[in-house]
Each structure stands twice: as C-alpha cells, then as structure tokens.
Structure 1
Amino acid sequence: MHPDICKLAEAVVEECAGLPLTLITIGRAMASKKTLREWEYAIEVLRQSAASVLPGVGKEMYPKLKFSYDCLPDERFRSCFLYCSLYPEDYFIDKDELVDFWIGEGFLDKHTNLSSARNQGHFIIGSLINACLLEKGHRNDRVKMHDVIRDMALWIAGESEKEKFFVKSGVQLKEQPKAKKWEEVTRMSLMGNQIENLTEILECPKLQTLFLGRNDLKVIMNDFFNSMPMLRVLDLSYNVNLEELLVGIAKLVSLEHLNLSETRIKKLPVELKALAKLKYLNLEWTRDLEMIPQQLISSFSKLQVLKMERCGYGCLLVLEEMEHLKYLNVLTLSFKSASELEKASRFNKFFSCAIERVCLEYFRDSRSLNIMALAKLQHLCTLRLSRCWDLEEVKIERNITEGAGCFHSLRTVILDECNHLRDVSWVTFAPHLEELYILDCKGLEEIISEEKLGEVAELKGNSNLFSKLEILHLWGLPKLKTIYQHALPFPQLKEIYIRRCPMLKKLPLNSNSAKGQRLVIFGEEGWWKDVEWEDESTKIAFLPSFRPF
C-alpha cells in the first residue's frame, strides 16, 4: 500500500473518535479504497459531515456512520437499508418477509419472475451485512439492526426531503398517536404496541407503507383508510383480537401487499375486489376464517403470492380459482385429509407454482400416507405434519432413483401430535434438511430406523444423513429411545434441544461429530447426567456444550 495512505488512515481513525462501531463500519467501507485520492476524499466527507450536524444526541456518531450509508452502491440499497428501521429496536427481522416487503414497495428491479426478485433482495441483505449496517441473527433466516445503526437510519430518514418516516414501533403505545404533519409521511410503523382502536382518520396522501402488526387491534373505523390513496404495503399481522375486516380497506386502490396472518378475521369482504393491484396476500394462521366470497381470489389478476397455510378456509375451495391467476407462482397450503391432498395434486397450479410450505393437519382418513406428490414439489421449503392422530406410517418408496430431486428444497420439517408414528425415516430423503422439530409425538420410538433405510438401496451405508442439519428439537417424546443407531458427523449442527424424552439415553455423537462447530445442547440436568457416551473422549468433547433449562 502507498505509504501516505497510512497517515490518512490514522486521520480517519481520529475522526472515528474511538467509537468501535464507527471504526468497524467505516473500516469496512474503506476496505476497497486503494488510492490517495479516495482516502483524501473520505476524510473531507467525514470532516464536513461532522460540522453539518446540529448539536445533540448522535452528533459524534451518526455523521461518521452515514459515510458507510453514502458508500452503498445506489439509491435502491439505501432505501432497503432505511426500511429496516421501521422494525422495533432489537427486533430479529425475517429475511424473506423483509424481501417480500421490498418487492411490494417496488424497490427491486422488474424481474421476469419472483424468484429472481427475491434473489436480488437477499443479495442486498448480504451487502448490508458486509457493510456492517445489518447484523446476522441467531438464526440464518433472521437479521437485526444494531441500536445505534437504527437510530442513525431514523436520523437520515428525518433529514431526508424525499422520505418522511413516522416510527413508533415497540414503544408500548396504547392509543393512536398524534403528529403535526401527517400529509408528509411516506412510511409509518406502529408495530409492536398495544393499540386497541384506530378511530381517527389520518390524512396521509403520500403514505406508501403502514405497519400495524403485533398490536391489540379490535376496532378499525371504516373510514380509517380513506385518505391513503398511495398505500402499497399494509401489515395487520399478529393482531389476535381483530375479528372483522371492514369494507373501507377497499379504498386502498394502490395496495400491492396485504398481510392478515395471525388475525381472527372471520370473512373477507367482497369489496376487496377493488384491490386490482394486489400481488401479495397472506392469510396464514387465520384459523377463524370461514368465508371467502366466490371469485374474490380469482379477481386479483396480478396476484403473485398467496399464503394459506393453516387458514380456516379450505385451500381446496380456492384451488380452482387459482388456476385462472396467470402470475401466481408462490403458494403455501394446508390439507386436512389424504383425499384433499390427492385432489389438489390434480390441479395444474399445484405443480406449476412454487409451493413453499405445506401443512398436513387433522388427518382422519388415513393410517398410511404416501407423500411422493409432495416430494416432487421443487420449491417446498417447509413441511408440517400436525395432529394427524390416526397416521401410523409415512411410506418410503422402494424404487426411488438417485438424483430424482426428492424434497430437494426441503429445509424445515415440523411434526407435532402425531401420536401413532413410530419413526420419521422418510426425512432422510431431504438431503438439505436444516431444521427438524418433533413435538408431543407420544408413540415415536426412533427418528431414523436402520431397518427402513436398509429397505431402500440408495440409502444403505449413507454417511450423509443430516449432513446439513443445524437445529434438532425433540420435545415430549416419552417412548423415544434412539435418534439413529450410529454416530453421525453432523458437520453443520449448532443446536440440539431435548426435553421430556426420558428414554433417550444415547445421542448419535462421537468425538468427530460437529467438529469445528459450536454445538449447544439444551436439556434437563437430570437427563444430562444419565446420557450414555460412546467413549470417554466423546463425553469430554461435549460436556462443555450443555446448557440447562
């Protein structure tokens, strides 16, 4: 490196005033700068910005950090970054949810398909992490914002002429807040509060984003949305007391993204047909939803994403309407019987769409389930079997050929209250499985049956079992004796969580398992004392991994 750059680097360090986060963030921004002129310019910018800030909180920190914001490649990256400040402080943000919001806002390029747009969104998230403007969450699918970075983002948004944020998220509000100039606000977040009623009309002609999720909403006055003609994104999720969706929502003629998940709404008003631009509709976990008017779903001609996992209204009732939606390419669904699943597989959209999540629940008509139709879904990420009380067996096909791509995208499997299942050997057909949760399955005796693997030629002697597994949660399995008979490498395993599994005495671990990983094993202290180890070196290797409840 040019010797003069060392002196300039010292000057940059001086401008950082000993603040570690500033040093890291600006250091990351300067890592690619190789010439004197770039370093001289950086010092000039840092000094100028310090002088331009009004006295008060953040006058030392924010201008320096803003340099990293200014170094982002373009306005798209900056808008995506500022958007993260709408979430509450210390909030773990779901990456997929965030990217879907960005798509609804129109931040990303016009892509030929949704998958490409999502890939671009995840690329931007990676870039923001590399720039130290976002932090990795405790799970791969989450990110969070450092408190200081979030404050800086809100400061930037407050100084902006283009963007006017009104953010009161996670601050224990009980009533609808007041503001002097609603007409200038472009993005508003009131999520994570205890607001029960929205009874005052807000004159927000420029508002594009409204986060109302995770409140205690019971009443939204019918005219509340009257003066929001530009609104593109509306999030009402996790308002578990919200039972009625009033027809006034039909006034949101620019709406593209509507999230009603985890609400108790009982019906969708037919007036929603006015939402001609709607591209994303989330009805997941709306267990009380009993009525969707005929032809409502098919009227959303631009719909790209429809989420109906654990929706009270049967997915089968709208699958026929989905056939007419030419842009629909992402689905999440629930089925309550094997016959429902079989009927659904006759529809073209069942295979032509990217079905990302499927829940099989309350199965009453089948003791045995062949899920090969699901195995062929190329984009299935999450599969849940819930309360399938009569189900005794999930069949493994004997003649599966290698490279057929069975469960190729499956990352998460959840089983709960499937009391007659004795094993879940079929998960070995998910080569990229990352998370396995098995809860309250009273009859489960083993996770992977060696006998059943022996029946399938391709899996004999398979050393790649659970090669991508990161999280294993076992809870309330009174008959469980083994996970697998032999020790496995578990090269990616980060967390084992075992509770109320009194007969599980041995883990499939040896001294080579999870090498290089910081494995944490959560369990009851009494259970941990009785664990039988393959040898003393294995015991020594994993004793430091234990964390009691």
Structure 2
Amino acid sequence: MKEKHFQHKEWNSTSNSTSVYSYTSLAFMIESFSIPERSLKNQTLEPGMDNVGSIMDIVERFNNFDSLDDKMNRMKRKLIELESKEYDISEELKYAESLLLKKRKRSVENWLRNVESIKSQVQQIEQKVEERKWHTNLLLRNSVDTLITEVRELIEQSNFAEGLTLEAYENNREVALLTRKLVGQKFQQNKNMIWEWLMNDSISIIGIYGMGGVGKTTLVTHIYNQLCNHSGIFAFWFTVSQDGSIHKLQNDIAKTVNLDLSKENDERKRAAKLADALTRRNNCVLVLDDVWNHFLFENVGIPVGVGCKVILTSRSLEVCRRMDCQEKIKVEPLSHEESWELFMDKLGYGTELSCQIKGIAKSLVKECAGLPLGIISMAGCMREVDDICEWRNALVELKECKGGHDDMKSEVFHVLRYSYDKLKDYPEIQQCFLYCSLYPEDYKIRRDQLIEFFIDERLIEMNDRQAELNRGHTILNKLENVCLLEGGTNYIGQKYVKLHDMVRDMAIQIAETSSPFMVEARVGLKDLPEEEKWKEDLVRVSLMRNNILNIPPTASPRCPRLLTFLLRGNRNITSIPDCLFAHMNRLNVLDLSHTNIETLPDSISGLRSLTCLLLRDCTRLKYVPSLVKLEALRRLDFYNTAITELPHGMEMLVNLRYLNLDAKTLKMIPDGIFLKLSHLQYLVVHELNLSAAKVRVQEILGLRKLETFKGQLHDINTLNAYVRSRDDGGPNNYLLLVGLGRLKSNFLYGKAVCLHQCNISKSIGGEDLLELPKDVMSLYIQQCHDVTSLCDVSSLKKTTKLRNCLIEGSNGMKRLICSSSCRLKLLRTLESIYLTDLMNLEVLIGTDGDAPLVIRKGTYFSCLKEFSIFGCPKVKSLFMPALLLNLQNLEKLQVHNCEEMVEIIADTSEEDKDWEATNMIIISSLHKLKDLRLGNLPNLKSFYNTRIKMSSDSLRHFTVVNCPKLKRIPLLDAASSSPPCLQKVRVHKNWWESLEWDHPNTKNVLQPFCEFFKEKKGNCS
C-alpha cells in the first residue's frame, strides 16, 4: 500500500513548490500512515522506502506554512472584531425597537443569523483542534482559512449603508379602532378620495368638516384603520376636543411615541423634540379628530411635509382653511335611502316591522334628516319596541317637542349645541343664527333677504349699506363654516342658506328659553294659534307660509315685548282686523308680504317703533293709511302692490333707508319727495314697466347717501343725461332700464343697463346716440333692430369693465363681432354671453370683405366662463378651431333650438391653413368646461372633427336632447375610464343606444352616470 502511494510521483526536492501534490493528497498520504504528528520525527523508515525520501522532509516542508495554532489565533482576533460589530448593531436595534418605531431589515436579520452560525462553527473547530491528530492537521487548516474568510466578509457586510431598520408597520395593527360600518355611496367616495390624497406626495394636510353628528369621526376612523393595515405608513390618532391645548396635544403625541417631555416646560423646546421624534419615524400620518381652534403645526412640533401628513376633522371650514388644508371634504347628511338602511341596521339584525310601524318608522327617519347620530340614537330608543302606540308617540314627540326623545336631547342636541356655544364670544352671530329658525323647515332662505332682516332688527348696524351687506355675508359665511347653516345656489344663480332640520329644532329650543320665539311656520295652520300660545314675553312670532283663512275681528294678542311678527305667505288672508296690533306697541318688523289683503288697518299708523314694513307681492293692496307717525321706519317695500299713489305722510319718513316703489299701478310721484328722504341708501322705482310716473334724474343724483338705484328711465335722452350727471357722483350700484322690456330675473345684479326697442347704433352730429356708464358691467339689448353687431355701438369702446352681455330678439344682428380686427375692450373682459332669438345671426365673428380671419391667442373671449345661444336658426357652426385657443376659461356651454347648426366646432377651413400647420389641429382647450347642454338641434352632426383633440377631465354635466343626427361624442369617448369629474349624463335612452363608439368599453364605463329622459319631446332643463 505504501508503494501504491508513491509509485506514480516523485518529490522534487529542489523546488519549494508544493504544486506536485495537493494538500488533500498529502493529507490522505499522512492519514494512511496513522502516525501521530508528534511521534513522526522519531520514526525510522522501513526498508524499501528510501526511493521516496524521508517523511521528515515532507513534515519540514509543511512547517514552511503558518501553523494551525497561528491560524486559530488570527481567526479569534477577527471573531472578536465581528462580535463587536454584532454588539453595536444589536444595541441599535434594541433602541429603535424599544420605541416601537422600527423593525429590523431582513438583510440585517440574516446577517445576525450568519454571525451566530459562524460563532457556532468556531466553537466546533476549536474543539476539533484540541482533539486533532497529526494527519488531520491539513484539513483543519483549510477549515480555519474558510472561517477566517467568512468572518472578514461578515465584517465588511456590517456597514449597512442604507440603515438597519424599516418602519415598524406591524405595530399599527395593534391600535386599530372599533367603528361602525360606512353607509352610503358618498361615504365610500369620500373615503376613496381621501385615500388617493394620502397616496399623493404633494398633499400633506387634509381637512374633513361637517356639522356635529354627521359622521366625520366615523369616516376618518375607517381611513385610520386602513392606514394601520397598510405596509408602508405609520399612523397615530389624537382626539383634540374643544378644550384641547397645545401643551396637552404635545403630551398626547409624546406619550404615543414614548418620548418623555415631563422635565421640559419650554413649549418651543418641546416642539423641537417632538418634531425630531416624528421626523425619525418618516412616512407617518397623524389623525387629529375634533379640532375646534386653529393652531400652527410648528408650535406643536408636527413636521408637516417632512415625512409626516395630517388628517384633521372639524365642524368648521374656517379651521380647515386657517390650518392650510390643501384638500377639504365636507361630510354631508345621508340620503333617504341611506338613512333607512342605517336605521334598520341599528334597529337590530333581522328586525321585521309591520306595515303600519314601518310607515311611522320611515317618518321618524325622515325627521332625523340624514344625520347619522340622530338616526342611530332614535334606532336605539326604538329597538325591540313592537307597540304601535309607542312608535306614534315617538313621532309626535320628535315633531312637536322640538327636542324629541329624552335620549335624542341628551345624545344629539348636546353634540349639536357645541357649535352654537362655541360662538359665545360673538352674540350677534348667535342671534343671527337663531333668527334663521323663524323660517319653515327645509326652507331655502335667500341670503340677500335674510341679511335685510338682520339690518332691520339692528343685529347689524354700520355706517353704510354696503358695509352692512358685507358684514351680513361674513356672518352667514361664518355660520356655514361651522356647519350650523348649509349653503347653496338656486337655479337662477341666487345664493341661499338653509338649516338642517335637527339644527333648526335645536335653534328653536334655544330661542324658546333665551328670547322666547313662537315658530309655527308652514305647519298647515288655518287659524291663528290658540290664545294660550300668545305669551306676554314673546319676542318673535313666525306664522309664515300657512293657510290661515281669516283673522277673527276680536283677535288682539297681548304681546307688549313683541319685536317681530311674520305673516308672509298666508295667501288666504284678505283682511286684518284693526285690533290685531293693539297690544304690540314695541313692534319693529312687520312682514305681510305675499298675502291677499286689500287694505292695511289704521292701527298700523300707531306703531311708532316700526322700523320695517314689508308689503311685497300684496297684489290686491290698494289702501295704506297715513305713515306720518312712523318716523322710525327704515325699510318700506311696495313691490308689486296695487297702490296708485304714495301714502300720506311719506315725506315724514326721514329715517328711511330702503324704499321699493316698483308698483305697476303707481301713477304719480310728487315732485321733491325723494329729496326729503335724504337718508335713502336703496331706491327702486318702476323696475319692470314704464308708467305715467317719471323719474327725475336730478332728484336721484341729489341723494348723496344713495348706494343702489334701480329705475325705469323714460328714454335714451334721459339715460344720457343721467350718465353725464353721474360723473359728478351717484349710486355705485344701478340698474337702468330704458323702454318697456322685461328682464330675466338672473340678470338683476351688478351695474347694469337694459335697452328695449331703442335706436342705439347711430350718432347724430358726431355725438353718440347712446352713452353708457364707463363702469357698466352688464348690458341687456332687447329688440334693438338697428344693431348689426356690437361694433355698431360706439359707446362700448369706452367701457372697460363689461362682464355680461345679453342680446335678445334683435333681428338686425348678423354677427356678434364684425371683424377680426375689432378692438372692443369688452372682448377681453366678458365673462358671460347670452344670445337668444336672433333670427339673422350667422356667425360670431365676421370678416372685412375678403380679408382672412386671423384670431390670435388672448384677443377674444379669454375671460369667458359661460356661453349660451338659443333660437338662432341661421348659425351653422358655432366656434372656429382657432377661437378655441382663447376659451381656456369656458365653464358652461348651452346650445338650443338652432335648426341649421351642423357642428359646434367648425372643421378647418381654408382661412385656417396657417393655423393648422402651426398647431397641427391638436387642441387641449376647454379644459375647464363643466357643463355642456345641447338641445333641439335637428341637423347637428358633430361636436368637433376627429383632427381636434380635447380633454374632458373637467366635465361634470353633459346633456343632449333631440339631436338625432349626432352619432358620436368624442369628448367622452375614452377607452378605459370616464372623465374624473363626471357626475351626470342626461340623454334619451334610444339615442344613447344608437351612438357609435371608437372604444367599445366606453359605453359601459359611462352607463352608471346616465339619467334617461322620458321618451317624449321636450326641452333640456
């Protein structure tokens, strides 16, 4: 066997190289001898071994390398270095993890496991070295070398340049909050929208606001729980509450992040430490629930935008604004269907109601008006109640007692009243809020009319009328912002406010205990309330919009403190007994508007404290007694009454601020009457029709305090005289009417001039036939047939602020603008254009002879927001492509009853060749268009041609009616998704089914937004 090992190779004794034999071969050779290394030197070779040399020579050659012990020492030194690295890393991990901030990266965890493995291997090799034999020496050397290499690599890997940890997201799951399920499509939409904002790096602060009990906290709780389960965000929840302070909030945040601030009292230093702690967490979201007062995030120590986002809930939009919320959502009450779903859910799973009880239950839910807190409270009260009498009693209590159930009072009204109590430092705002409760349930109260009452009641009292109006709007904005009022705009653009039903009940409850009200508005009364309800301490009474047939001739309530009496809207009242006001000597405000009274009782003459007498729309009223004693009167409204002459004693109303004499039957206005009413701030004289009574311009201009004048002037010469005289001063707001035209109600605002059947395009002797105020903002031209275009009205060249232009029934008009070289300034200032019944109108912009039509960006309609065209049968194309570049602000487009209209945006014409080459017929204008309505256009074939590209991202409402030849809607034709803002598509179903689509999926995407008309011809409205 020994010969077998040595017979193939000879040892090269002259070489220091060991390449002839590998370490493995040598080890195998030594191992075959089975001789311990320590006795090898003392062995004598057997005969026959001389030809391979001495084994001692082999050993001597091995001795030229490091000994195994040296290698072991080297390995131990490296291991000590590795263990030091391991200790430092472990300590850092313990610190981060102790704060519940971080979790170790998987790569770090693997590294630590590898270190443990190496340490175990070293222990094993140390034991083998202790027990080694001479022939295992080489194998141990190799193992030690390998371990040394691995130790070195682990040391190199210990740097972890990108850090040791990740955010400890799994800790969030431990703090998910209990909440009720979301009910309603709007809740889900709000939730999705908030989540999108959270995922947007550019949005750091989100505000969620709404009235108390509407579900703000529920919504944000769902968001918070979703954050808790998201593997990328660390979430914190803090309830701020009404009495919260910065110091308390700092303590709450510090406690959550395990930061000790107990020894630090300096607020700035506390904020700095908090900001540092939160910054180190990175990518976290703070939920601040129920914020009542605004504060600066830096004062607290919240590093917004530095890896930190904030969601806050509040009852106040103002708080959201003051705290710089980049995005805001108002949480609205539930719909009727959603309210019923929530009620049944909270009433108990599987509850079945009888048909009779179900009807009562739905009435109960209706009384809660979509307020989740009220619905849940009422469901809790009625759970497991099967006695129909108890259900009926609950409904009566909720309707009549204003506070409803005891549970409702304690749970709901307590929540709602917080918002009212928060205004304790603003008593006049609280009084204005309570005043709103005098109106009927669900009533949309016009802002301007409500503010007039505030002024009448001296809740607002300032130096001039405009300042008072500004203050009134500020108060209503404040009440809207804290969600005690809801705002809106009606179909003709008038702004209104309304009270949520439960907020109104709460307001009445407060008013009944503080300054007693009796509110029986729109409750179906046929007679005056019973005598016992007319308490002597009543301050305000509202019987608005009832069906009171007559007032007993002996009715004389004893209400010596009564200040306000509102009878408006009782159209069945034809007479008022003289004794009705006998015991109301302190009465300030009397509103008899919209009644059918024919005469006013003589007792009116004795109401010396009266400041406001409203007789608006008393169309049968002919007789008004003497007003000579009513010197305190500040507002008097005769609009649309049947009076033929001014009441006796008008000249004595020296404190009158507001006078409306728009009575069509009024025949004569005494000379000099207005000059005696020197405090007048608001005057309306024959707003709609011209009568025998003439307005004397010099009298109007002599009223130095007059701020608003709306009057019918006799002719163009009177208008011109007024305009010339007004240069020396006059009302800032005016509505000047010439001729017998009738105005559209949505045009009655701003500084306006309305011309009916006048010649206005010619000049006489070099002087303009028409002179317009330089500051006119609205112009109404009706049946002025001499006008062929706006360029004919030379006085328009002097106007610089025209915003609105309405042209109706002027058959001479062939084009709105006569030339592309027109220099009218109004082309750059107009915000709305309304064209109707222009039988000969052909184009919007014409050309001078054969001159090419050149439209440059910014020259035409760059401020235009609304364009409407009705009944213009000769117009075939509305906009040329080049004009679109200027319509970047257009929000609403209406086209109706234009029989020859073929296309809304014309195809590229020969004159547009240069424009086509420059712009490649790719347009991204109309990017603000929200509302598009097309109706009764029998020849319309296209909205625009396929070479034009437009975005529909802003479109909200799209309506098409009776456009049978229109087969494609490229504005909506997208392959995969609907326009992001789209809310409603109103069309006929048969027409919708006949449309052709470039992308077959578009129809399915848009279908949920469709609202189909009944299959009959009709206008789009």
Q: Is the shorter-chain TM-score for this pair beyond 0.5, marking a shared fold?
A: yes
> What pairs up with 1:438-517 in 2 under 5 angstroms?
438-446=835-843, 448-449=844-845, 451=847, 461-462=857-858, 465=861, 467=863, 469=865, 471-485=866-880, 486-487=883-884, 493-507=890-904, 512-515=924-927
Task: Give 1:219's aligned residue.
Answer: 598
* Residues in 2 aligned to 1:173 and 1:515: alpha-carbon distance in whole angstroms: 53
> What pairs up with 1:16-95 in 2 under 5 angstroms?
21-24=211-214, 34-35=244-245, 56=404, 59=409, 60-72=411-423, 73-95=425-447
Aligned length: 506
Q: Is the Cα–Cα contact under 8 Å of residues 360 and 388 in structure 1 kept in the other structure?
A: no
Residues 255-296 of structure 1: CA deviation (Å, up to 9, x unaligned): 212222333433323422222211111234x33333212222
Task: Give 1:7's aligned residue.
Answer: none
Alpha-carbon shift at residue 130 of structure 1 (Å): 1.0
Corresponding residue SS for 2:435 = helix
User: Does 2:467 match 1:108?
Assistant: no
Alpha-carbon shift at residue 26 of structure 1 (Å): 9.6
Q: Is the Cα–Cα contact under 8 Å of residues 207 and 231 in structure 1 kept in the other structure?
A: yes
* Residues in 1 aligned to 2:675 and 2:414: alpha-carbon distance in whole angstroms: 50
Residues 316-337 of structure 1: CA deviation (Å, up to 9, x unaligned): 6322212332211221233453
Alpha-carbon shift at residue 351 of structure 1 (Å): 4.7
| Aligned sequence identity (%) | 22
* Residues in 2 aligned to 1:387 and 1:503: alpha-carbon distance in whole angstroms: 22
* Residues in 1 aligned to 2:928 and 2:891: alpha-carbon distance in whole angstroms: 10
Task: Give 2:774's aligned residue.
Answer: 376
Alpha-carbon shift at residue 300 of structure 1 (Å): 0.7
Alpha-carbon shift at residue 371 of structure 1 (Å): 8.9
> What pairs up with 1:304-323 in 2 under 5 angstroms?
304-308=681-685, 309-313=687-691, 317-323=695-701
Aligned AA (1:223):
D
1:419 to 793, 804, 811: 811
Q: Is the Cα–Cα contact under 8 Å of residues 905 and 943 in structure 2 kept in the other structure?
A: no
Task: Give 2:478's aligned residue.
Answer: 127
* Residues in 1 aligned to 2:940 and 2:643: alpha-carbon distance in whole angstroms: 48
Q: Is the Cα–Cα contact under 8 Å of residues 314 and 334 in structure 1 kept in the other structure?
A: no
Corresponding residue SS for 2:772 = helix
Residues 410-445 of structure 1: CA deviation (Å, up to 9, x unaligned): 554443333333344499717565544433343334
1:541 to 956, 971, 985: 971
* Residues in 2 aligned to 1:88 and 1:266: alpha-carbon distance in whole angstroms: 33
Corresponding residue SS for 1:278 = coil
* Residues in 2 aligned to 1:358 and 1:209: alpha-carbon distance in whole angstroms: 30
User: Could you say if the C-alpha distance between residues 330 and 66 of structure 1 is closer, same or farther in structure 2, counting changes exceeding 3 Å?
Assistant: same
Q: Is the Cα–Cα contact under 8 Å of residues 367 and 393 in structure 1 kept in the other structure?
A: no
Aligned AA (1:438):
L
Q: Is the Cα–Cα contact under 8 Å of residues 88 and 192 in structure 1 kept in the other structure?
A: no
Q: When you count helix as a share of all residues, which structure comes out higher?
A: 2
User: Does 2:451 match 1:99?
Assistant: yes
User: Does 2:725 match 1:347?
Assistant: yes
Task: Give 2:326's aligned residue.
Answer: none
Structure 2: any 5+ residue segments left out of the alignment?
1-176, 181-209, 218-239, 250-289, 294-400, 518-538, 741-755, 763-767, 907-921, 951-968, 974-981, 988-1019
User: Does 2:870 match 1:522?
Assistant: no
RMSD: 4.4
The two structures have a TM-score, normalised by structure 2, of 0.43
* Residues in 2 aligned to 1:190 and 1:398: alpha-carbon distance in whole angstroms: 50
* Residues in 1 aligned to 2:829 and 2:556: alpha-carbon distance in whole angstroms: 49
Corresponding residue SS for 2:884 = coil
Residues 361-401 of structure 1: CA deviation (Å, up to 9, x unaligned): 35455151669843513xx4544333445555544678999
* Residues in 1 aligned to 2:901 and 2:846: alpha-carbon distance in whole angstroms: 17
Q: Is the Cα–Cα contact under 8 Å of residues 901 and 939 in structure 2 kept in the other structure?
A: no
User: Could you say if the C-alpha distance between residues 40 and 374 of structure 1 is closer, same or farther in structure 2, counting changes exceeding 3 Å?
Assistant: closer
User: Does 2:616 match 1:237?
Assistant: yes
Task: Give 2:576's aligned residue.
Answer: 199
> What pairs up with 1:275-424 in 2 under 5 angstroms?
275-284=653-662, 286-308=663-685, 309-313=687-691, 317-348=695-726, 351-362=729-740, 363-364=756-757, 366-368=759-761, 373-377=771-775, 380-389=776-785, 391-395=787-791, 406-408=799-801, 410-424=802-816
Q: Is the Cα–Cα contact under 8 Å of residues 279 and 304 in structure 1 kept in the other structure?
A: yes
Q: Is the Cα–Cα contact under 8 Å of residues 544 and 570 in structure 2 kept in the other structure?
A: yes
Aligned AA (2:986):
R
Give the structure, 1 or 2, with the largest relative contact order (CA under 8 Å, sep 6 or more). Answer: 1
Residues 196-243 of structure 1: CA deviation (Å, up to 9, x unaligned): 423223322232223333x2424133415235332222332233x235
* Residues in 1 aligned to 2:693 and 2:513: alpha-carbon distance in whole angstroms: 46
* Residues in 2 aligned to 1:339 and 1:357: alpha-carbon distance in whole angstroms: 16
* Residues in 1 aligned to 2:417 and 2:448: alpha-carbon distance in whole angstroms: 26
2:652 to 271, 274, 278: 274
User: Could you say if the C-alpha distance between residues 245 and 78 of structure 1 is closer, same or farther in structure 2, counting changes exceeding 3 Å?
Assistant: farther
User: Could you say if the C-alpha distance between residues 179 and 382 of structure 1 is closer, same or farther in structure 2, counting changes exceeding 3 Å?
Assistant: farther
Higher mean Cα deviation, 384-393 or 318-327?
384-393
Alpha-carbon shift at residue 477 of structure 1 (Å): 3.0
Corresponding residue SS for 1:225 = helix
Task: Give 1:255's aligned residue.
Answer: 633
Aligned AA (2:602):
D
Q: Is the Cα–Cα contact under 8 Å of residues 601 and 625 in structure 2 kept in the other structure?
A: yes
Aligned AA (2:774):
K
Task: Give 1:136's aligned residue.
Answer: 487
Q: Is the Cα–Cα contact under 8 Å of residues 278 and 303 in structure 1 kept in the other structure?
A: yes
Higher mean Cα deviation, 503-512 or 85-94?
503-512
Higher mean Cα deviation, 357-366 or 535-544?
535-544
Task: Give 2:5's aligned residue.
Answer: none
Corresponding residue SS for 2:404 = coil
* Residues in 2 aligned to 1:180 and 1:301: alpha-carbon distance in whole angstroms: 36
Q: Is the Cα–Cα contact under 8 Å of residues 136 and 142 in structure 1 kept in the other structure?
A: yes
* Residues in 1 aligned to 2:513 and 2:701: alpha-carbon distance in whole angstroms: 47
Alpha-carbon shift at residue 175 of structure 1 (Å): 4.0
Higher mean Cα deviation, 265-274 or 292-301?
265-274
* Residues in 1 aligned to 2:832 and 2:592: alpha-carbon distance in whole angstroms: 30
1:210 to 590, 600, 608: 590
* Residues in 1 aligned to 2:241 and 2:923: alpha-carbon distance in whole angstroms: 40
User: Could you say if the C-alpha distance between residues 262 and 54 of structure 1 is closer, same or farther in structure 2, counting changes exceeding 3 Å?
Assistant: closer
Task: Give 1:3's aligned residue.
Answer: none
Aligned AA (2:613):
L
Structure 1: any 5+ residue segments left out of the alignment?
1-9, 14-19, 43-52
